[in-house]
Amino acid sequence: MKACMQKIPYRPGSVLWILSIVLISGDLYTGGIIAQAQTEWISATDQVRVQREGDWLETSFRFAAHGHLATEKDGATLMFSCEGGDVLLRLGQHAVPSYGRPGLGLLAVCIDGGAERLVYPLHEPREIVLARGLPPGPHNIRIEHRSTGCGAGARIEALGVSAAPTGELAFTLTGENHAYLVDARAVLTRDGAVIANRLVRNWLTGGCRLAGLPPGTGYRLEVQAIGWALCVVENISITAGRETELAPVHLAADPGTARGWLFPRLGRQTVRRPGENFHARFQAPDARLAGARLERRIGPAVISRPMVFAEDSSAAFYYDREVIAEIPDGTPPGLYDLIVQTRRRGRDGARELRSQRAVMVVSEYPVDPVFITWGHLDTQGQYQAEYALALAEIANLSGADMALEADACNPAYVAGALATLEIPYLVNFGNHQFPGFEQWYGPQEEAIDYGPDIRIVNRSLPWHESTAQTDALFAARPDARIKIINAFEHNAPVELLDRRRVALIHDAHGPGDRVMDMGATPTKRVGKSNSESFRMIRFRDGRVASCTYMGHATAPVPFRRGEVPPLRAEIDPQADGTQPRVAVSLINDLGDPFPNCRITLVMPAGAYRCTGGSIESAVASDCKRYAVLTIRADAPPESRTVVRVVKE
């Protein structure tokens, strides 16, 4: 196998990639599309094949990919019978720090009444070999939970059986922002066929293992963690009856989630029109500022514009610098990286400081803005982040002007999933937060303006804390026509809402009707109903005109985890800059219409015509080889709209 790991920037940004994850991730127990797998996995919750004694709770840890059995009681036992071969055990994920204790007990495993083997979940990767090469015929496996000097608790997800000999693949997984790395998806392929696609990692030890693998050579492993760069290991051999141990795998942070800028940055973007200016603050001590530009990357196409800027020396302090930059006239709309070039005194070469997807350029500010919102997603690990990533793709397609998320969890996975957004967003962290989210998203309370008419205050604090900062942020923009609060709880003082004439408070927490009027303004409270849905909030004449699904009083737009996204675009062939004609199937499985959806295509340079939609903009890439097209099309309820784009 290769001794070094190939690290590739992790930026799927494709509905097809998301669909592959959705379809594959549910196949641990069903076989599904996974090819050549010899091991049968039986869910521990299968009451026909797995018998229980004692106190077991059937549960699913924080929207995990699969349910499991959990216990903290001494003597709680599982019994399982199988034919001869290899027998495997898959543990459930340990509770992460924000949610409770890990499994501190032990599992005493006995096969056919023989000697016990003690398994400590605290120490083991999630997959364990219990027995190899059992003789033909029936065998009885007994697994009993016992407490230890540390405590009690175990979670069991599945049992595996293979009649043919199998091998294992093991490695230790670490990464940048290590305190936030919980788990990852391991995808093992051979000759293009998926052999295993499972979530791995004991977050307490970093240990990973894929068990029950068919022997062979030429395996390829991808380790995917949203918020980190993809790692690939090739030319792996799996030997029957043995464990193949890889060199430790270390994931670099996804460049799209890089920190260091105070503003603008992910979750605190600047929104401006061409010809307008904005302030930017970053760290660059003892350096000369040599240039600044905006840069947008869409597949192989790069669109950039140099900017005129001036340093505000009066705002500098210690490491921090601040500039005032002007967006050039004619800059095409889109979400851009902000890049400042610096030169250190006495050193050769320039250094680039990049704030990813930090500046949103619009041709006009929306009069009746559209927001896509969600909350309380429990994005604490990889599987949950895959759902957030699917929501981000829906947001890009939906035609919304901005996304609002309330009560987020693990900032590293959240930032990785939302880095694919092509619209500005705000996210707050409430009672499910991982401490330290400010490293990615800044202060617990701040504001963003979407032009002179719209101010959104983002608040991660409960409302029993002081509201002075909220009041001050609105007082700074008294003439804003639309005032919005994105909070994790809705119970803001009504006096504040009325005095500042707040049109909308979006939240993810608290009792009461999820959609209701508050105060005399009135302020529309639009809250999270569940963790498997989103909302489209549409304004008209400065007020919320609609925010529910199919005219219901409170219902959100349904989107269950593991389902194919109900709003999606299927592009054939892929718009990768090589095809002069493509067909886009804009699919809406929902009962509500989605007007003015946004589709972005990279085509060979040239002029294009479109049927089924309209070309909003066509922008030449810097290299002049590509044209980046923004297509607008309506998606009626329960429809498939075909948009065809052809080079003239």
* Low-confidence residues in the chain, pLDDT < 50: 1-27, 29-37
What pLDDT does residue 103 have? 95
Range list of H helices, 463-588 = 468-475, 494-499
Per-residue pLDDT of 12-60, as tens digits, reads 334 333 334 433 334 454 433 343 447 999 999 999 999 999 999 999 8
Q: Whole-angstrom Cα distance, residue 516 to residue 496?
A: 17
Domain 370-558: give its CATH code: 3.60.21.10
Is residue 90 within 8 Å of residue 41, measured between CB atoms? Answer: yes
State phi, psi for 608 to the nearest 5 degrees.
-135, 155
What pLDDT does residue 9 have? 34
Q: Whole-angstrom Cα distance, residue 572 to residue 5?
A: 33
Domain 1-38+164-258: give its CATH code: 2.60.40.10
What pLDDT does residue 344 have? 77
- The amino acid occupying position 72 is E
Q: Do domains 370-558 and 567-647 have the same CATH topology?
A: no
H or E element in which residue 424 lies = none
Beta-strand runs (E) in 413-479: 425-429, 445-449, 454-459
CATH topology of domain 39-163: Jelly Rolls (2.60.120)
Is residue 88 within 8 Å of residue 161, measured between CB atoms? Answer: yes
What pLDDT does residue 340 have? 94
Using alpha carbons, select from 119, 103, 109, 92 the residue that is nearest to residue 143: 109
Neighbours of 416 (CB within 10 A): 27
Per-residue pLDDT of 61-80, as tens digits, reads 888 999 999 999 999 999 99
Secondary structure (H, E, C), 585-625: EEEECCCCCEEEEEEEEEEECCCEEEECCEEEEEEECCCCC
What pLDDT does residue 20 have? 43
Neighbours of 271 (CB within 10 A): 22
Is residue 252 within 8 Å of residue 175, measured between CB atoms? Answer: yes
What pLDDT does residue 471 have? 98
- The amino acid occupying position 402 is M
Percent of the chain that is helix, strand, coil (3-state, to 5): 10, 45, 45
Domain 567-647: give its CATH code: 2.60.40.1180
Is residue 399 within 8 Å of residue 426, measured between CB atoms? Answer: no
Neighbours of 257 (CB within 10 A): 25
What are the residue ranges spanned by the domains of the chain? 1-38+164-258, 39-163, 274-361, 370-558, 567-647
